[in-house]
Chain A
Amino acid sequence: MSVSTQDAPAEATQAQAVTPILQGARLRYFAGVISVLGGLLFWELVSRVLVANPLFLAAPSQILQAIYSLTKSGEMQGHMAISAVEFALGYVIASVLGIILGFAMAESATAKRALQPWISGLYATPTIALAPLFILWLGIGIWSKVLVVIFLVLFPVTINTEAGLRTTSERLIEMLRSFGASSRQIFFKVSLPSAMPFILAGLKLGIGRGLIGVVVAELFGSRAGLGRLISQSADAFNMPELFAGVVVLAFAGIVMTAGFAWLEAKLVPWTKD
């Protein structure tokens, strides 16, 4: 049995035009690196020559030094561990809860009616402002921060999960129905996989919001954590250490978001074209 040639898959026959695009592609590839290095250089020069006052600005080299000494003393790891635990606990609880709530809202009109006003209201509210209240309730330990993270991560996950399940293609559901599929089979074979890109997007949004939540909550009152490091350093006018905390956070955000992009490419490759 032969395959008619005009039906050959688009990708198999697609040759890549290499030479003329190469320079543009290479430029694009290095654009990020050049931009970051250039920015750092500019920052270094400004803080050494223009500002030249360690009370106002720390140079990248000083920040690196601060990170190094904080790491050597073990102080940095301590702060990172606390913040990481707070973030991870809040993030995992919020993700699981958010996915469950999203499912409930997509499956039941009653659940949607009951939950929608709360979700919409709390999503738009700067719940981070409630952090002092949570600290009053739960103390300055990790749980007040976990609660802040939950409040910030829960809603994007819920909203995206619900939207993802709701937008499942009717055509695909009908196809399964034509084979006599049960509603359970339709859920697991169509609704859930087609909601995956949405759920992952919600979880990705949650990373940034969760990190901000941890730090801001720690600023309001804590014994340890990156937010604590930042507020301590600010009180002591120790700019290199303040920036050390900020840089570590930024780095964590970049790494986790990149990790998610990788996960998306693995789990939902069909959304990429």
Chain B
Amino acid sequence: MGTKLSISNLGKFFGDLQVLRGIDLAVERGEFISVVGPSGCGKTTFLRIVAGLEQASSGQVVLDGRVVRSPGGDRGFVFQTDSLLPWRTVFANAIIGREIAGQVGPAERQRTLELLKLVGLEGFEHYHPRQLSGGMRQRVNLARALAIDPQVLLMDEPFSSLDAQTREIMQTELMRIWEEGRKTVLFVTHQIDEAVFLSDRVLVFARRPGRLRENVSINLTRPRTLAMKRTPEFVRYVDHIWRLIEDDVRASVIEEMV
């Protein structure tokens, strides 16, 4: 154990609008951390800064002792939309991160095939994205991020476009895959139950400006099963987090209606 990712006093402005203020966070190696909050709380911006896709206006992100300034192979990003290249096969999509790094030797190819098997896509390597369901495309999205063997996995609402049943399946699948390698994960979602189910810790963000409201440790045993979602403990966590963001969510919903 040790601090994998350390974020200090992180702030971000888009023009005059402050979207993030004073975020401090230390993530342990192998921790699964979710970020929840109402829309407009800057949770996706936060993740994009960690990915290096966006520059912080103040503060810094330090991964394994190095300051993050740009995207890099030590972070794997799983996108909200699958962002698969339609002209590439499942395999060619999954290995693209390695290809960009100029590493497509037999070892990397073998590793990519193993990962596709791990995410449940064995036998579909030569399919094209258009031949796959939404759930399967998100599996490729995940395998693609894992294929670069990142130090940290960054996931931006990866299951939000899936139907409720598929989402539940994907949550358990993600837990199964995560148990295999115990990567450090930052997972952004707007589903409170998803955050509680997956995480060791849930960061609850407040909005205007986006900031850390509470850091909720989830003390549920692992491995987790879908049945746990109906236990009183689980529901207590969900209730607690919901109460933290309720007012903010109402405010943001009213704002969106206007």
> Which residues does A use to contact B, with CB under 8 Å?
1-4, 6-12, 171-172, 174-181, 185, 189-190, 193-194, 196, 268-270, 273
Contacts and interface: CB of A to CB of B under 8 A. Distances in A.
B136 A180 contact: no
Interface in B171-217: 173
Contacts of A2: 120
Contacts of A3: 120-124
B103 to A, nearest CB: 11
Dominant SS at the B interface?
loop
Given A193-B85, A193-B87, A7 B71 contact: no
B53 A172 contact: no
A172 B101 CA distance: 17
Contacts of A176: 96, 100
B81 A171 contact: yes
B72 interface: yes
Given A6-B165, A177-B53, A179-B148, 15 more contacts: A3-B124, A6-B133, A9-B124, A175-B79, A178-B52, A178-B71, A178-B75, A180-B71, A180-B72, A189-B96, A190-B85, A268-B87, A269-B87, A270-B87, A270-B128
A6 B135 contact: yes
A96 B210 CA distance: 51
A255 to B, nearest CB: 27
Contacts of A273: 130
B133 A179 contact: no
A174 B135 contact: no
B151 to A, nearest CB: 14
Nearest to A4: B169
Interface of B: 51-53, 70-73, 75, 77, 79, 81, 83, 85-87, 96-97, 99-101, 117-118, 120-124, 127-133, 135-136, 139, 148, 165-166, 169, 173
B195 to A, nearest CB: 22
B52 to A, nearest CB: 8
Of B85, B122, B135, most buried by chain A (CB within 10 Å of CB) is B85
Contact of B120 (A1, A12, A270): A1
B131 A189 contact: no
A171 B129 CA distance: 15
A9 B136 contact: yes
Nearest to B148: A179
Of A7, A171, A273, most buried by chain B (CB within 10 Å of CB) is A7
A50 to B, nearest CB: 53
A172 B83 contact: yes
Contact of A11 (B117, B121, B131, B135): B131
A7 B133 contact: yes
13 contacts: A1-B120, A3-B120, A4-B120, A4-B169, A7-B166, A9-B124, A9-B132, A175-B77, A175-B79, A178-B79, A179-B101, A180-B100, A189-B96
Given A4-B169, A171-B81, A193-B87, A9 B127 contact: yes
